[in-house]
Structure 1
Amino acid sequence: MRMGVDYYPEHWDRSLWEQDAKLMQETGVSLIRVAEFAWSRLEPTEGRYDFTWLDDAIDTFAKRGIQVVIGTPTCTPPNWLVNAYPDVLPRDEKLHPRYPGIRGHRCYNSPSMRHYSALIVEKLALHYANNPAVIGWQTDNEFSLNECNCEHCNARFRTWLQEKYDSIEAINAAWGTVVWSGEYSDWSQITTPLGGMNYKNPSFVLDYKRFETDSLVEFQQLQLNILKKHCPNHFITHNIWSYPMALDYYKLCENLDFVSLDYYPSTNPEKAESSGYSGALTLDLTRGIKRQNFWIMETISGPPGCWMPMWRTPHPGFIRAFAWQSIARGADTLVHFRWRSAPSGAEQFWHGLIDHSNVPGRRFEEYRGLCGEVRKLAPLLEGTEVRGEVAILHSHDQYNAFQIQYQVDGMDYFDNLKTIHRAFTKLGIVTDVLNESDDLSGYKLIVAPSLFLLDPELASRLETCVQNGAMLVLTPRTGVKNLNNVCWIQPLPGPLSNAAGVTVAEYDPIGRDVHHFSWRNKTYSCSQWCDILTPQTAESVAWYEDDFFAGKTAATVHKFGEGEVCYLGTVPEEAFYVDFIQDAAVKLGLQFISDLPEGVQISTRVKGSTRYLFLMNLTRKEQIVTLDRVYYSLLNEREIGQVLTMAPYAIEIVELPMKST
């Protein structure tokens, strides 16, 4: 467990390198990430490589005991490459090239981009393979889909489809192209979504999104093959960029050693409390990609400003508190972006730990203290991990399918997942947010939000979990389509109808209208969607209170094997989820805290029989937390009573007694 910073030696006069290295050493920084945007300095003209400046910089920091992660510079193709090989540039839906001026201007299927990317990565790998200061690599920077329509993407898209479907007849059948006379009679007729994606066949668009992910994965794999060949003792990671994301992170990260995340919690007061909950979901999602601990490769050091107007400056304690939140939810290393604010370029006002004044200030001193705390507790936390008893399912395919066809005004797949996760977080229940294709055995509670795309294989796996004793929670728009994005011709929830013991007789996309339903003699509001349910073998447990379906079933529970399936036919307010989850937790024997103050979070890291509890006040106000006993604070080296008063952004870490067996 260690602390680092993102550093750009090419931006600074060499006289600053030694000063910075000395101050980093004194502060507790033990690693830096470099070079991910430095292609033009590493290869100033085609075939002329210059690594001497980077050698000198790495040597300067190595002498201070600071290790190095090198970012491959393929996010920023240099001007000489773009000018000489215009196929590098992606083309939009009207076939216009997207010119430089911003990073990420490259087509993943461009032969020139792949060729010259492989060359620069191999040169770097060979050069730094045996440098003792270099410990690992970051591929590129914040990959995302670029929706390119160039000739190379068109040709590769056809090949991709041929490999998946084998024949024109198969693709016509899978996509239902008979609608609007869209049938193909020759592979040459299939193109990327020229003209844009509005009103195009949703099966076609979803496959195009999948193709885009696979193209990017291939582009990254070129780099992985080179790095693994020449640097077998180095780790390889990639810094993903938050959620929601059309790019399939599960595929992207499959062959990486671990995942890294760029995490920027909002500093604005109106988002002060909600940001902590959104961040908790992002961190849990990141941990779930490979079901292991991860790195933070960038996180907040000052007010961000570049792609949007500047945010508020981090309130005292904010940087420290959200760093500990990251550790509490599985981060093993924290790299802050950036050491010093840039004097030039688009990100001049994406502030670093040190401002343009070059005078360390309040934020820097807070970071210095954080480094000391992490160094102090690292021996205890080393080798610990986060383990949840609850699984929430997530899918980039589901997200993309909902983006392709918005179901109703105000309905958003990821926002609804966020609301469910926030309810668990408010109760202090640690969740694993997992790819829907993951092994789910061992979880007592599985929440599967809106399985819009549902095939019999996933339905069967979920049925098995329930039969073995799990509780499965389903929500509206489950079982609507198969994986080709074509509607099932059977009652909803499609392949899960038998396990749920209920069918949807009719539905009303109510959007932003507010309706009400009753559950356990209490009334809750709901919006977005109302499934009017007909129980088959399930029991009705909630009923609508208004509109033409007043009195009709809104939710059911079905005993199935050793477990049960709960079907929620509407999208309720958060208060319902909190009550519903508490009820489920009591039934399943899950520990929870019913009176955790708003904005206060807990998490645990475990190793063997040892457990560490993190209590975090991620708000600007003082909060009072009631504990079950007196604990000893490992962070502050003092006893804390059962009634704990937490200052704004306060953190406490305690060792929990062993669980009784």
Structure 2
Amino acid sequence: MGVDYYPEHWERTMWEQDANLMRETGVSLVRVAEFAWSRLEPEEGGYDFSWLDDAIDVFDRQGIKVVIGTPTCTPPNWLVNRFPDVLPVDAVLHPRYPGIRGHRCYNSPSMRLYAERIVEKLARHYSNHPAVIGWQVDNEFSLNECHCESCNKQFRRWLSNKYGSLDAINEAWGTVVWSGEYSSWDQITTPLGGTAYKNPSYLLDYKRFETDSVVEFQQLQVNILRRYCPEHFVTHNIWSYPMSLDYYKLCETLDFASLDYYPNTSPEKAVSSGYSGALTLDLTRGIKRSPFWIMETISGPPGCWFPMWRTPHPGLIRAYAWQCISRGADALVHFRWRSAPIGAEQFWHGLIDHSNVPGRRFEEYRVLCEEVNRLSEVLGGSVVLSEAAVLHSHDLYNAFGIQPQVEGMHYFDHLKLYHRALTKLGIVADVVNMTEDLGGYRMIIAPSLFLTDQSLADHLETCVKNGATLILTARSGVKNMNNVCWMSPLPGPLADVAGTTVAEYDPVGNDIHAIRTKSGKTYSCSQWCDILEPAGAETIAWYEDDFFAGKAAATVRELGKGKVYYLGTIAEESFYLDLFREVVREAGVNRLPGLPEGVQISVRSKGTTLYMFIMNLTRKRQIVSIGGEFSSLLLRKTVGPELDLDPYGVEIVKMEQ
């Protein structure tokens, strides 16, 4: 259990008081300094770590460990004034001036030089401090889409390394369209002007280049930290989903991923926020397919450059903390210890308000710390147990963003739809990169594989033949990985696997249509309608209206030991609840049936022992059947077969496999 703390914001007399209260509360970790460059290096080459030394020593005396954030998210004014190339440049070549964090170009020679210097000084200085255990590189990386001369030069270098020649670029991108062919390297620039009417293959490669620029900038720091602090971990705090930046690449060389997670506190989102959060947490666990850290999470109502949210309802902070742990978090760092009286984040509230008097939220946090610390040894070393997978890709997200397919159709919303249905059914799922090895999963949902190559199709086919159930959806197999359309019937390389092809499609957008299943039940659908021609697959749903009434809307094919479903439209949620319920029964996927709306489960395993977390992420009392009597870790007594959960109530039960 940890908190984010900024000693430079407080009088020194408060440090000792805060550290004492942290220890008494059960806090054993603080993150510091990720925004403190101007205090660590007040002028060029003039380093002052004495204040941070004193603060870390205060925490050390209380037995509190420290994670240091490298301060490269906030270049100080002296740096941007002396070296204007530090500032990113927008698509119309206007620099983005300081005044908020993140004002730096990842490819700026000056930025890289001074970032390396401050990180090396910090790494050397704190490499042997007993309280320092790890590093967070920068803060919440994103694509800043800079168009400065340094980025243009690096973009050309990146393209040369990838393609080797202009002829290869012209061929891969199809630049013959609209006379876009390149005859000289200096004709290639970043996407200037801001217009959307550009070659989609070029735009997708620019997104990939931007990710690689962030990765390269981060790796400069990682290399330094590894050299001088080999015993420390190195991580980075990603900022939620969806995101253009490829987190799989970003976190590849890190020890583990970390997430900044802020559940929505609005009453009208009291239920939906829990499902969206579950997807975010499962995505984060899937980055490295291993446990992760929460480096920031909600402590009070957020708000600053936007109106404040509602304050967390009683129990929300505790319940969402346990949701994080249940889905793979091994540490929770709450943002922040105390609300800031100064700066841009004055109303992004901490555990203690501006009054400096611990209140209701702080007492809830104190209880949470006691519970987590008491169960830490029991749960330590356990991992999330899942038999189903949902595939995800930043390339797919970017490709759909570059060319929106139809009004109301969004790639990430599809992930939410399918993942929410699994969660409501009591099924624990991994969310993993579509390029990962998927062997061992009983159920694989592959939403809209818009970009597909033969190797992915072959891997999915192998998984199915070995016994997996694969679910493919509309807008799959449309393009190759260069964002160029396949010249073959949809779903392209996946047609043989699916046993069906798309005779025609209708981008129906927000128009509502209907499908009918074999059982005679009807469901509404919208966004997209693939009119299917089965070729070895069996039809399981038909369209009910329009010119394609009576045509196949969904199919299933038996292949080897498994099955392949192809869903040609986007249906209402109840369709997926009914379909997935049947699929998991046939595939032998474990689940906890009968969960009330807003109640979630997750399972962590350790040896032969399972720990099932049951969380009521709603504002009302809920009754949950858990199918037997089990030992409660929180109550330290036997509970079940039914649980009576208060609003935001949590239970953890122990069972043997």
Fold shared per TM-score above 0.5: yes
Q: 4+ runs of 1 displaced by more than 6 Å? A: none
Q: Which residue of 1 aligns with 2:600?
A: 601
Bigger CA drift: 266-275 or 584-593?
584-593
Question: Where in structure 2 are the equivalents of 1:215-364 lying within 5 Å?
Answer: 215-364=213-362
CA distance in 2 between partners of 1:644 and 1:221 (Å): 48
* Cα separation, 2, equivalents of 1:69 and 1:626: 41
The Cα of 1:591 is off from its aligned counterpart by 2.1
Secondary structure, counterpart of 1:525 in structure 2 = strand
> How far has the Cα of 1:563 moved from its partner?
1.4
User: Secondary structure at the residue paired with 2:181?
Assistant: coil
One-letter code aligned to 2:429: T
Equivalent residues of 2:319, 2:649 under 8 A apart: yes
Residues 1:184 and 2:176 are matched in the alignment: no
- Aligned partner of 1:501 in structure 2 is 499
Post-superposition offset of 1:631? 2.2
CA offsets per residue over residues 555-592 of structure 1, 9 Å max, x none? Answer: 01111222121000001111111111100011011222
What is the CA distance between 1:197 and its match in structure 2? 4.2
Query: Does 2:365 align with 1:394?
Result: no
Residue in structure 2 matched with residue 511 of structure 1 by the alignment = 509
How big is each residue's C-alpha offset from its partner over 1:323-367, in whole Å with a ceiling of 9 and x where there is no partner? 000000000000000000000111000000000000000000000
Alignment of 1:48 onto 2:46? yes
After TM superposition, the structure 1 = structure 2 runs for residues 368-447 of structure 1, keeping only pairs within 5 Å, are 368-447=366-445
Deviation of 1:627 (Å) = 2.2
Q: For the Cα contact (< 8 Å) 1:453–1:482, is it kept in 2?
A: yes
The aligned amino acid for 1:294 is: F
Q: What is the Cα deviation at residue 641 of structure 1?
A: 2.8
Contact 2:453 2:493 in 1 (8 A): yes
- Asked if 2 retains the 8 angstrom alpha-carbon contact of 1:582 and 1:592, the reply is no
SS at the partner of 1:529?
A: strand
**1:440-477 per-position Cα deviation (integer Å, ceiling 9, x unaligned):** 00111111000000011111111111111111100000
Kept after mapping to 1: 8 A contact 2:87/2:104: yes
Q: What per-residue deviation string (whole Å, max 9, x for no partner) do you get for residues 508-550 of structure 1?
A: 0011111110113211111100000001111111100011101
- Root-mean-square deviation (CA, aligned residues, Å) is 0.7
Q: Distance in 2 between matches of 1:66 and 1:643?
A: 40
Q: Distance in 1 between matches of 2:100 and 2:339?
A: 19
1:550 aligns with 2:554: no
- Does the Cα contact within 8 Å between 1:635 and 1:653 map onto a contact in 2? yes
Q: Which moved more, 1:586-595 or 1:300-309?
A: 586-595
Query: 1:57-107 CA deviation, whole Å, 9 max, x = no partner?
Result: 000110000010000000000000000000000000011000001100000
**Amino acid across the alignment from 1:327:** I
The answer to whether the 8 Å contact 1:39/1:74 transfers is yes
Distance in 2 separating the partners of 1:197 and 1:364: 49
**Inter-partner Cα distance in structure 1 for 2:611 and 2:385:** 12
**Alpha-carbon offset, residue 499 of structure 1:** 0.9
Deviations 1:22-54 (A, max 9, x none): 000000000100000000000000000000000
Q: Specify which of 106, 109, 116 is matched with residue 108 of structure 1.
A: 106
Q: Is the CA contact (8 Å cut-off) linking 2:387 and 2:590 kept in structure 1?
A: no
Secondary structure (helix, strand or coil) at the match of 1:532 reads strand
Q: Partners in 2 of 1:371 and 1:562 — Cα distance?
A: 47
Tell me the CA shift for residue 610 of structure 1. Answer: 0.7
What letter corresponds to residue 246 of structure 2 in structure 1? D
Distance in 1 (alpha carbons) for counterparts of 2:588 and 2:560 = 19
- Which letter maps to 1:30? S
- Does the aligned pair in 2 maintain the 1:341–1:351 contact within 8 Å? yes
Where in structure 1 are there 5+ consecutive unaligned residues? none
Residues in 2 aligned to 1:67 and 1:642: alpha-carbon distance in whole angstroms: 41
Q: Secondary structure at the match of 1:204?
A: helix
- 1:132 corresponds in structure 2 to 130
Q: Where do residues 562-581 of structure 1 align in structure 2 (5 Å cutoff)?
A: 562-581=561-580
Match of 1:635 in 2: 634
Structure 1 residue 593, shift from structure 2 partner: 3.1
Aligned to 2:540: 541
One-letter amino acid of the counterpart of residue 639, structure 1? T
Question: How many angstroms apart in 2 are the aligned matches of 1:590 and 1:90?
Answer: 49
Amino acid at match of 2:545: D
Aligned residue runs from structure 1 range 480-499, under 5 A: 480-499=478-497
User: How far apart, CA to CA, are the structure 1 residues paired with 2:488 and 2:306?
Assistant: 46
Q: Is the 8 A contact 1:448 1:474 kept in 2?
A: yes
**2:510 alignment partner AA:** R
State the aligned residue count.
656
Which stretch has the larger CA shift, 355-364 or 192-201? 192-201
User: Given the alignment, which residue of 12, 15, 20 partners 1:14?
Assistant: 12
1:643 Cα offset (Å): 2.4
CA deviation vs aligned residue, 1:292-331 (integer Å, no higher than 9, x gap) = 0000000000000024210000000000000000000000
Query: 1:452, 1:196 → 2: CA distance?
Result: 24
Tell me the distance in 1 between the aligned counterparts of 2:586 and 2:601: 22
Could you state the TM-score of these two structures normalised by the residue count of structure 1? 0.99
What CA distance in whole angstroms lies between the structure 2 residues aligned with 1:362 and 1:248?
Answer: 39
Counterpart of 1:488 in structure 2: which amino acid? W
Q: Give the secondary structure class of the aligned counterpart of 1:557.
A: strand
In structure 1, how many angstroms separate the alpha carbons of the residues matched to 2:153 and 2:591?
54
* Cα distance in structure 1, aligned partners of 2:115 and 2:484: 38
Q: 1:641 & 1:460 partners in 2: Cα distance? A: 45
The one-letter amino acid of 2:287's match is I
Counterparts of 1:305 and 1:81, CA distance in 2: 29
Task: Report percent identity of matched pairs.
Answer: 72
String of CA shifts for 1:348-396, please: whole Å, max 9, x gaps: 0000000000000000000000000001111110100002100110000
SS in 2 for 1:98: coil
SS at 2:209's partner residue? Answer: helix
1:23 aligns with 2:21: yes
Contact 1:543–1:554 (CA under 8 A) maintained in structure 2? yes
